[in-house]
Chain A
């Protein structure tokens, strides 16, 4: 995790090298520009790295189990949902709608809307699954959750830098391993929460309602890659905050992602033009 401010100049230099080197590498007779493994070791590394985060997620899982039982779901039904859906925000929203006696169509549509972001998350994973089998790719896809996706992107970024340098390389099984850690603790926590039921009446008392925010802040600090991130991140933050305040629901995520992305792309264009690296 070489992301302290002191490495800023270094990491920019590495990025530049990577970009210019890509063309040369493909010109040579390498079978693939980026060989990404899918190994048991990578899976275990993901599982281990994700355990502390999964423990935090479990706190939220207990809260979900409690809310589900209060909404009238049995422990078995709540557990089935956690095991097969594996999407915290959607599950909490569904249980919320359930308690309000919403229609089946509303619940399923709301699930789709909240989970639209997974299209974006999945898209970012593609480079690491380019050479993997259908089973490895689409089996791993099930285990994508916000928290382990973020850890996986960090591991891939670190491994990507290290490819060819002899240190730990990127391993696509990291997603599966970290996802399994989330899955095991999420399901177990749901069972506990559903059985405890009315025992915990107010998750906010234990700070659990802030668990998502806290995990995402930590992940954001880790993902910070230097000053080039500043314009897109600022744009995304402002757009998402404004949308969250003005529009109910989770549209802020789409707004922030779109605005941040377009600012990032435009910024990269300008940089390429002004430094003359274009080719």
Chain B
């Protein structure tokens, strides 16, 4: 039963998935395409240099707003470990570990 269900492809579902794929690709390629068509001023270039950092910071803020104390402590642990060791895997382990441990205590 599970093997036939696992490989099932409903035409409507496939249609929605492909529509999502087209929309997503359009956004991924769209930014590259638009900027290539424009002459950039100095200020626009500064904006593009600032952009990556502020996007990541905004993502962090949004996730912090959604998360609880465990997630906040996990975030702090990652920040400390990545700063001290510069090792991403170690930092990720420390972050997830902190989240799980803190939730276990509460």
Contact = CB atoms under 8 A, between A and B. Distances in A.
Interface of A: 1, 52-53, 55-56, 59, 73-77, 80-81, 84-87, 90-91, 94, 104, 107-108, 111-112, 115-127, 129-130, 137-138, 141-142, 144, 146, 150, 153, 194-195, 204-225, 229, 232-233, 235-241, 244-245, 250, 252-253, 255-257, 259-262, 264-265, 268-269
A120 B46 contact: no
A87 B27 CA distance: 11
Tell me which of A112, A213, A245, A264 has the highest count of chain B C-beta atoms within 10 A of its own C-beta: A213
Q: Which 5 A-B pairs have the closest CB atoms?
A: A122-B31, A256-B58, A260-B54, A264-B50, A214-B95
Given A204-B103, A236-B61, A257-B58, A123 B27 contact: no
A124 B48 CA distance: 6
Nearest to B81: A218
A269 to B, nearest CB: 7
A194 B6 contact: yes
Contacts of B63: 210, 212-213, 216
A84 B18 contact: yes
A222 to B, nearest CB: 7
A5 to B, nearest CB: 9
B91 A124 contact: no
B13 A73 contact: yes
B21 A253 contact: no
Given A80-B14, A117-B55, A126-B35, A74 B5 contact: yes
Interface of B: 5-10, 12-21, 23-25, 27-36, 43, 46-67, 70-71, 74-75, 78-79, 82-83, 86, 88-89, 91-92, 95-97, 99-100, 103
A81 B96 CA distance: 26
A265 B78 contact: no
Interface of B is mostly: helix
Contact of A256 (B25, B28, B49, B57): B57
Contact of B20 (A81, A224, A229): A81
A212 B49 CA distance: 23
A236 B52 contact: no
Given A126-B36, A241-B61, 6 more contacts: A75-B7, A85-B21, A125-B31, A218-B88, A245-B65, A261-B51
Tell me which of A111, A194, A207, A225 has the highest count of chain B C-beta atoms within 10 A of its own C-beta: A207
Contacts of A235: 54
A218 B103 contact: no
Given A118-B31, A124-B48, A137-B32, A111 B59 contact: no
Given A138-B32, A207-B74, A213-B63, A111 B24 contact: yes
B100 A112 contact: no
Contacts of A238: 61
9 contacts: A125-B31, A206-B100, A220-B57, A237-B57, A237-B60, A241-B65, A257-B54, A261-B47, A265-B50
